[in-house]
Structures are given as structure tokens and as C-alpha cells.
Amino acid sequence: MIADGSGTSSALAPEGLVPVPVSGLRASSLSFALYIRRNESEAPQLYRGGEYPLENADLQRLAKRGVETLYVRSSDHATYRNYVLDGLARNDRLTPPERYKIIREVYRVVFDEAFRADTLDPMIEFTEEIGAELAEAICDNEIVLGDLFSLMEHDTGTYTHSVNVATYSLVLAKALGIREMPQLRAVATGAILHDIGKRQIQLSVLAHPGPLSPQQQEEMRCHPTIGFRDLASRQEISSGSHMMVYQHHERIDGTGYPVRLTGREIHDWAKICAVADVFHAMTSQRSYREALSACKALQYLEDQADVTLDGGVVRCWTAIMSNSLNP
């Protein structure tokens, strides 16, 4: 059934639902119910039962009303995710940036739940899924980074940071000659997991509203070691992905952490992740400073080329960004 707005349709508490983007829906049969929030003061109400197909006319009405988000039961989210990914695979009309945007939105809820889980299993499963989807979306198409850059959030949220670093790392890896899909998926996995050790850092440190104290900095600097240790027994994670987690804060002049490695001691994929990580951090809004423009962040990277960051990776990235943002 479809809710008529009279208040007679079923309502669920917001905590029993998860938001889903309307852009990921298509005219087809459903195997899950959709809910709609008609205003911020009311709980979402039933919009379309799972036994009723979604029609093009429904999608057009939602678009006309400016409705960008519906809801599904949390227990139906895996079914919804499979529905969306199946639709992406069969929809040739979507552009690569549109596919990329939908993938980001679909997996946001999964990441939040997995990151808070007591064990790493949900996070590993999530990483394998989204890593494969991102690798195929970004590397199987002639995609322009400038198109993606306009779709990407630029905040310091954990999900945003992880996916942006994975996106940049994939673009860099491909440009640097990594072409095999298993390797690209492994690069995506390492990039998404690079900050996994922060799960065990105190929230008061992670959410600190300004520059960290020396003691807080020392605690934060433990996250690569914690992440590497937590993943050490996971045989499904490649050695290159492990090194991205462990070494993404190492610097080629030995000023990084946790081991103060230099030059060739640092894994090539970790050098890629380091550049991606620094670029996203600098172009993200912080509570204590404004985000830098892409041009200013690129200038900083160029200043650090062959000093703290790998020069070849930096020059590759600046070339990619310059071509993408100034075609």
C-alpha cells in the first residue's frame, strides 16, 4: 500500500529504519518496504509495501516534491543493497559519476554499523564489498576525477575520509601503472582500512575540537600500530593492504611514525595512501580551521615532494588534479 498522508498508515520509530537515497531506486518489483518522512517532527510512515512494484510515476512524483531520501527497515538493508547493486550492473544509462555517488550513499549506513561493531568481521566484509565496487566504478571506466571531486563530501567524518582516500588511492594506483583488478581491489581495501586502528582511540581524542596536546598526539600516533596488529591474523587482507594501514604516516625522510622508516623501506602502496590521506585532510573542513582549496593543498604536496612524500607519487597526483580541475 501507499501512505495517503492521512496518518492512517503504519509508522515506525526512526531508530528502526535507515535512510536510503531515492537516486538508487528504479521502477521495478521490490522485496522490501519503503518509508517516507513527511516532515521532521514525525516518524517515517509506510510509503510502498514490498509486495507492490515501484513505478516510474512514483519516482517522478518524488522528484517533483524534492524528496531525495526514503527509508527501509534496518533488517532489510542488505536486501536493499543487493537490489541497488544489481540495478547498477544492469543500468547502462547511468554515468560513471552517478554510479560512484550511489555506491557511496548505499554503503554509508553499513560502514557506520561495521565501524562500531565489537569485532572486525563486519568491517572486513564491508571493506571487501565496497572496495570491489569502488575499484570497478573508478577503474573500469574513463572517469574524470574532476567529476568525482564535485560529488565528494569534504568533511572529516570517518566514512567520508575512508572513501575519499580510497577514491584518490585508486585513481593514483591506476595512473601509476597498477591495472590488475585484484590489485586495485586490494589498494581500495587498504585505503578504506588505513585508519581502522582509530576504533580503539578514545572518542575525546578523535573528536577533539582543536589541535591535539602532546599527550593526545602520542595516543593518536598509536593508530597505525593498533590497526596493523588487529589485522595481522586476517589472511584475506593482502600484505600490501596491511602496509597501507601500518605505514601511511611514514615519511621518506624518516620523520614519520610509527617506526620512522625512510625511502625504500616504505611500501609503494603506503606512499600512495600517504599522498591521498594528506590531500584529503588538507581539503577537509575542520572545527578549528577552514578547508584549503585544492590548489593550495597541491602546492603543499609539491613542496613536500622528495622531502617527506614520494616525489613520483606527488607529481602524478598534481598532474591528475591539474588536468581534472582545469581541463
Residue with cell 561495521: 114
Q: How confident is the model at residue 4 (pLDDT cuts 50, 70, 90)?
A: very low
> Cβ contacts of residue 312 below 8 Å, gap of 6+?
176
What is the rounded average pLDDT for all residues in the chain?
Answer: 87
Burial of 84 (0-12, 13-18, 19+ CB in 10 A): buried
**C-beta of residue 77 within 8 angstroms of C-beta of residue 109:** yes
CA 37 to chain centre: 26
Classify residue 45 by its DSSP letter: E
Kindly report the length of the chain.
Answer: 327
152-210: pLDDT as tens digits: 765 568 888 999 999 999 999 999 999 999 999 999 999 999 999 999 988 888 878 77
How far CA 256 is from CA of 40, 164, 247, 271, in Å, comes to: 47, 22, 9, 12
Positions of CATH 1.10.3210.10 in the chain: 94-325
| Global pTM value | 0.86
Cell numbers at residue 97, please?
559519476
Q: How confident is the model at residue 6 (pLDDT cuts 50, 70, 90)?
A: very low
pLDDT at position 10: 43
**C-beta of residue 166 within 8 angstroms of C-beta of residue 103:** no
Region 52-81 average pLDDT: 92
Task: Specify the CATH number of the domain 94-325.
Answer: 1.10.3210.10
201-238: pLDDT as tens digits: 888 888 787 788 999 999 999 999 999 999 999 999 99
254-308: pLDDT as tens digits: 999 999 999 999 999 999 999 999 999 999 877 667 889 999 999 999 999 999 9
Q: How confident is the model at residue 21 (pLDDT cuts 50, 70, 90)?
A: confident
Q: First vs last Cα of the chain: how many Å apart?
A: 49
Burial of 43 (0-12, 13-18, 19+ CB in 10 A): middle
Q: What are phi and psi of 267, to 5 degrees?
A: -60, 145
Least confident of 21-30, 83-92, 180-189, 247-256: 83-92
